[in-house]
Structure 1
Amino acid sequence: MTNNTAFAELMAFQRQTEALGNVAERLGWDQETMMPRGAADQRGEEMAAIEGVLHARRTDPRIAGWLAAAEVSDAAGAAQLRLIRRSYDRSVKVPADLAEALARLTSVAQGIWAEARAAGNVAAFLPTLAEVLALKRQEAAALAEGGDLYDALIDDYEPGATAESLGAMFGRMRPRLVSLREKVLGKPAPQKIEGHFSTDSQMRMARDLGTAFGYDWSRGRMDLAVHPFSSGGGDDSRITTRIVETDPFNCFYSTIHEVGHSSYELAIDPDYAMTPIGHGCSMGVHESQSRIYENQIGRGRAFTGWMFEQMRERFGEFGVRSADEFYAIVNRVQPGFIRTEADEVHYNLHIMMRFDLERALVRGDLGVNDLEAAWNDRFKADFGVAVDQPAHGLLQDVHWSCGLFGYFPTYTLGNVYAGCLHQALRVAVPDLDDQLAAGDTSAATGWLRETLQRHGGLREPRATIAQACGFDPHEGPLLDYLEAKFAGLYGL
């Protein structure tokens, strides 16, 4: 790193900002896992207060001077300046009172959403959603400066992506996904898993799955949440999961998914700690890690064979006769309501629906009061099933209550990136299945750690994937993988 005084002063200032951001993130983790329900309004004020401090730091006029004067001679330093400049340029466009209002409202809104979801009462949530959307549209207008509002929000999560580029990608993917789904659904479906799997037993196996995927428990922990998530980085990255006692896969694959996210953060070069490049470089790249852990590795034939034996040891005979049968059950294709429980064939169709709906909301083409009907109509058209309750429809995802408009498309980007990474991984580790069949993921996770995770935000998102894979990312490897996998499973 350079000894340039301006750069050193900028990085010292940024280190404090990063530390305060970590405190804010920990407050969010607490809200979803430990906080008493009656504390919601107070937490909203706390979040608004810390956002006010963070916004003031991110827009401090000294940053412009430091950026102008700073000199660096290495890639890491250049990346630090790139990300600080990007944050500063975006932050100065957003008024401080708007940033605080959004932090306050979205903190409270999450509790309102959770209560409405539990009660199946969409009407109880819509006024709050309308308030969140109004503030997000104000923020988008400030950021876009006359450009597309939705693009401005997408850029928060996947720099360089646009609604046009994402829509084009979805347009290329949809025909092959729909064709594959029709072929698969024309075949007999595997049985569902049945039985009772206690919370304690599931949590013990979930912890062992985390260990199998290399999760560092000395710098992490696992708790329960309504909507599983991971939180934090550096030396403190935590995961959550959820329990359905009749469906252990819900817990097991949520855990593996969140371990993928958290392991990315924990693997970043410690020299980057408490700096802008000490985080995952985008939500799409982040999702690539959780999805390759969960799907290509965790739902593959080799690893599910090991999982089958683990379940027999822990739960005894649970109605599944063989590892091949277990593999088929884990990958059962069905047009279900819940995105987070969707099979790999249907998952991206869920994202495409949400992409279209939230883009229409942000652009003003769809009103909040018409959203439930639009959701239900679109779901019936895309999945052939009528939504039976709000928790299976509009109220299933936490994202809009948090103000995360523009986030959903990064899930499919993550799948696309994971498809590319998986193709490269298979070339790099030709005996991968032999290791996974023994429950040893270290070759896979080690390759991901060295080629991608340890670099954090050093490169732009697409460049991060291209550097790891050796080719520019595109949807082809994912679609080829899905067609090959499910053709084998269903005898297509």
Structure 2
Amino acid sequence: MTAYQELAAFQHDTEALGAIAERLGWDQETMMPRGATDQRADEIAALEGVLHARRTDPRIEDWLARAEATSEVEARTLDLIARSYNRNTRIPARLAAELARLTSLSQGIWAEARANEDPSAFLPTLEEVVRLKREEAECLSNGDLYDALLDDYEPGATHRQLGAMFDRMRPRLVALRERVLGAETQPAALNHVFPEATQLRIARICATAFGYDWTRGRLDMAVHPFSSGGGNDARITTRVSESDPFNCLYSTIHEVGHACYEQGIDPAYRFTPLGRGVSMGVHESQSRIYENQLGRSAPFTGWLYQRMVEAFGDFGVASPEAFHAIVNRVTPGFIRTEADELHYNLHIMLRFDLERDLITGKLEVTDLEEAWNARFAADFGVAVDRPSHGFLQDVHWPVGLFGYFPTYSLGNVYAGCLNQAMRAAVPGIDASLAQGSAAPATDWLRAHLQTHGGLRPPAATIEHACGFAPTEVPLLDYLEAKFSAIYGL
């Protein structure tokens, strides 16, 4: 075997073990009995110890020095393995295992504190998570602590670059929001009971409409919806509120976007560094374009309205047009995952600023709730009424995902670019959506983006698919056109 072949075989097993660790995390959030929390934390820490040892194995350095790439795929594979090796060798095995164990425990503590509206039960754990993430950032940083963590989720991005983009986006978003909220006609919220079992049945129909392969996936319930896995085992989760079916339906479509990206990657890349989504920003581009530009479009909501009437009878909405307006209703709500398209990015900007301050030490965990509530009131004009509607609502900080949040807005920006390019290239998207099929759109996304996995860096992945470098302008133009039409601006 050549050095490249030896390295690829070693990497194959490391990737497979990583998939097992991910499956343990899925189980913890869906099926695991509550009493198993401590035991699962030890299991995950032990497996993380094995993975860290493999990712820092000194033979990797030797293989990298001797390996010769004979194709674009091999060159990119070597680049990604080298990147992983260089990052992991900077993190002590003790820290890697401690982080894995603590964030596994923290997840359960957070879930209970959230359910009980009891921040004091969680803050000591969050303080420890932040302490360890600061330590990890110090190991990885060449200057900026937050950028060191951000690079895990969006390689090459910096907080200055993202902050500048947010500064360009905020004025147009806020101005459009004010025009929308000041419009004469405002859609009313739904006022009906939507039984859980029926919601889940329609959620499965929606997942199928967007091309989710049920032979390689499954749908379960979770406190915080997520997707997990890839290749032939890409699972999704959702949650249900019987007063708000959109929570379930659009969480499902969102997670289907993630899962279809993973299901769509070239099988030849499986258990290689190319065999997963290239970044969280690109991943979010798939979930957000499925959920918003496609799933909340007038043609698709017209089809969904008929399914809702068939399932629930008269639920107080008189027409497909009224239903479309309700699906896209703009209101300054508390919950990010339920936020309309105008407010969503403002949620992310809030979290981006707060988590950056937490990592740099400008903000301490003991002051986080107060800082959150003050910022939320300033940005949304509403006072946070309880912790589960405030800083306890997201699972990301409990499990140590600092640097993840800004990729949601970056995903929206990427989705805006992809939507513009896709609609210019593919006729008949809306006609197909009106019949309950997203196939023309999802086929284009699969061919132009999903199949390539990690072959190119994030921004290059988007540019290859669209034919132009990513920019926030298509997203903002799309939002202004859409909401001006809905609200008669």
Which bin holds the TM-score, normalised by the shorter protein? Answer: over 0.9
C-alpha distance in 1 between matches for 2:324 and 2:422:
21
Corresponding residue to 2:346 among 333, 344, 349: 349
Aligned to 1:15: 12
Q: In the alignment, does 2:190 pair up with 1:196?
A: no
C-alpha distance in 2 between matches for 1:130 and 1:85:
32
Q: In the alignment, does 2:186 pair up with 1:181?
A: no
Q: Is the partner of 2:52 in helix, strand or coil?
A: helix
C-alpha distance in 1 between matches for 2:437 and 2:44:
41
Aligned to 2:448: 451
| TM-score, normalisation: structure 2 | 0.99
Q: Is the partner of 2:409 in helix, strand or coil?
A: helix
C-alpha distance in 1 between matches for 2:136 and 2:176:
40
C-alpha distance in 2 between matches for 1:430 and 1:267:
22
Aligned to 1:339: 336
C-alpha distance in 2 between matches for 1:37 and 1:337:
28
Say if 2:118 and 2:387, in contact at 8 Å, map to a contact too: yes
C-alpha distance in 2 between matches for 1:368 and 1:19:
36
Aligned to 2:371: 374
Say if 1:234 and 1:274, in contact at 8 Å, map to a contact too: no
How do residues 340-419 of structure 1 correspond to structure 2 at under 5 angstroms?
340-419=337-416
C-alpha distance in 1 between matches for 2:270 and 2:455:
12
How do residues 52-451 of structure 1 correspond to structure 2 at under 5 angstroms?
52-145=49-142, 147-187=143-183, 188-451=185-448
C-alpha distance in 1 between matches for 2:243 and 2:17:
41
Offset of residue 307 of structure 1: 0.4
Q: Give 5+ residue unaligned stretches, structure 2.
A: none
Aligned to 1:474: 471
Q: Is the partner of 1:479 in helix, strand or coil?
A: helix
Identity of paired residues, percent? 69
C-alpha distance in 2 between matches for 1:241 and 1:358:
26
State the 4+ residue runs in structure 1 displaced beyond 6 angstroms: none
Q: Residues 401-438 of structure 1, C-alpha deviation per residue, up to 9 Å, x if partnerless? A: 00000000000000000000000011011321111111
Q: Is the partner of 1:280 in helix, strand or coil?
A: coil
Say if 2:428 and 2:440, in contact at 8 Å, map to a contact too: no
C-alpha distance in 1 between matches for 2:79 and 2:306:
49
Say if 1:297 and 1:303, in contact at 8 Å, map to a contact too: yes
C-alpha distance in 1 between matches for 2:84 and 2:431:
45
Q: Give 5+ residue unaligned stretches, structure 1.
A: none
Q: Residues 291-316 of structure 1, C-alpha deviation per residue, up to 9 Å, x if partnerless? A: 00000000001110000011111111
| TM-score, normalisation: structure 1 | 0.99
Offset of residue 234 of structure 1: 1.3
Report the residue type matching 1:177 in the other structure: L
C-alpha distance in 2 between matches for 1:200 and 1:368:
39
Q: Residues 215-270 of structure 1, C-alpha deviation per residue, up to 9 Å, x if partnerless? A: 00000000000000000011100000000011111000000000000000000000
Offset of residue 365 of structure 1: 0.3
Aligned to 2:457: 460
C-alpha distance in 2 between matches for 1:217 and 1:79:
31
Larger mean CA deviation between 315-324 and 451-460 belongs to 315-324
Say if 1:47 and 1:104, in contact at 8 Å, map to a contact too: yes
C-alpha distance in 2 between matches for 1:440 and 1:43:
40
Q: Residues 44-63 of structure 1, C-alpha deviation per residue, up to 9 Å, x if partnerless? A: 10010000000000000000
Offset of residue 27 of structure 1: 0.2
Offset of residue 372 of structure 1: 0.4
